[in-house]
Amino acid sequence: MNDKSHRGTILVEEAEILSHEAFDGDQYVLRVAAPGCAARALPGQFAHITVDPQRPMRRPISIMRVSADAGWVDFLYKVVGEGTELLAQRQPGETLSTMGPIGVPFDVRHRRPLLIGGGVGMPPMICIAELLKGGDGQPFVILGSEVPFPFTPRPSQFVVDGIPDGVIAAMPLLEDWGIPSRLTSLQGYAGCHQGYVTDLARTWLDALDDDARREVGIYACGPHPMLEAVVGVARDYGLPVQVSLEEFMACAVGGCAGCVVEVATDSGPAMKRVCVDGPVFDGYSVF
């Protein structure tokens, strides 16, 4: 397949590290100066980052926030192997080679977007939320983690219909943007829903009347089993759903075809590359 849609849209930049914050659970928030990427990035896209001068193989990391005006890009990642362990050692003032933005973004078109992020799948949901802040929509964000969240949760200022009284933990940044959120975990964290993100999603959907439910579209990123469960929720309620897949990548620009997944199309099953045909797909086509 000779797809030319990404030609001229992906930039390689020597990006200076502006800040690099460590959080519990081997999680890091990295901010780099990458004005070209920041000017073009959309929710669901990612950058391919060189983690160390001695390691030519890049790592794909989802974009969490951008400032087109200031020219910076934020990434949230977790140390899971040698590459991200090397990345975690990089210091402000150093430079990283970044290639991005890459991939098909989310197409957010519903009045009540339900944004569901699990673990390092949280960044695209935060990116969507920032895009929607101050708009006419009514987004609701559910974030789940089995390690401490990479921020200090605080009690939400928003009452959300259907959410149990004791489930009050929210992400401060989303609160500041005026977007309600709730946190879930099986680890007993204070104020969090003790269960899966999909459990809380069903509780919220059950509290909506039929007219409100018809305005919902689900957008999700996280581990494969979580995404499969999210699509199950969408199917049960008859809702549209888009998912961003996580996959190992070598080139990340569609050349090696090492990140292919089977996707249902109108003409039958097809193998699609997560890097450039995705990472965002219609959830029903994948699951």
Domain that holds residue 144: 112-245
Q: What is the pLDDT of residue 247?
A: 81
Are residues 67 and 131 in contact, defined by beta-carbon separation less than 8 angstroms?
no
Question: Domain check: are 128 and 225 in the same one?
Answer: yes
Are residues 67 and 38 in contact, defined by beta-carbon separation less than 8 angstroms?
yes
The pair of three-digit structure tokens given for residue 265, joined into one six-digit string: 């199309």
The pLDDT tens digits for 155-205 are 999 999 999 999 999 999 999 999 999 999 999 999 999 999 999 999 999
137: domain CATH number is 3.40.50.80
Question: Domain check: are 170 and 227 in the same one?
Answer: yes
d(CA 42, CA 13): 17
Question: Domain check: are 140 and 223 in the same one?
Answer: yes
Q: What is the pLDDT of residue 8?
A: 62
85: domain CATH number is 2.40.30.10
Question: Domain check: are 189 and 122 in the same one?
Answer: yes
Is the confidence at residue 116, as pLDDT, over 50? yes
The overall average pLDDT reported for the chain is: 93
Q: How many domains are contained in the chain?
A: 2
Question: Domain check: are 131 and 193 in the same one?
Answer: yes
Q: What is the pLDDT of residue 211?
A: 96
d(CA 21, CA 67): 18
Is the confidence at residue 25, as pLDDT, over 50? yes
Cis peptide before 279 (omega within 30 of 0): yes
| Reported confidence tier of residue 1, pLDDT bands at 50, 70, 90 | very low
pTM beyond 0.85: yes
Question: Domain check: are 215 and 122 in the same one?
Answer: yes
| Mean of pLDDT values over 124-129 | 97
Question: Domain check: are 158 and 77 in the same one?
Answer: no
The pair of three-digit structure tokens given for residue 224, joined into one six-digit string: 């494969």
The pair of three-digit structure tokens given for residue 7, joined into one six-digit string: 């030609």
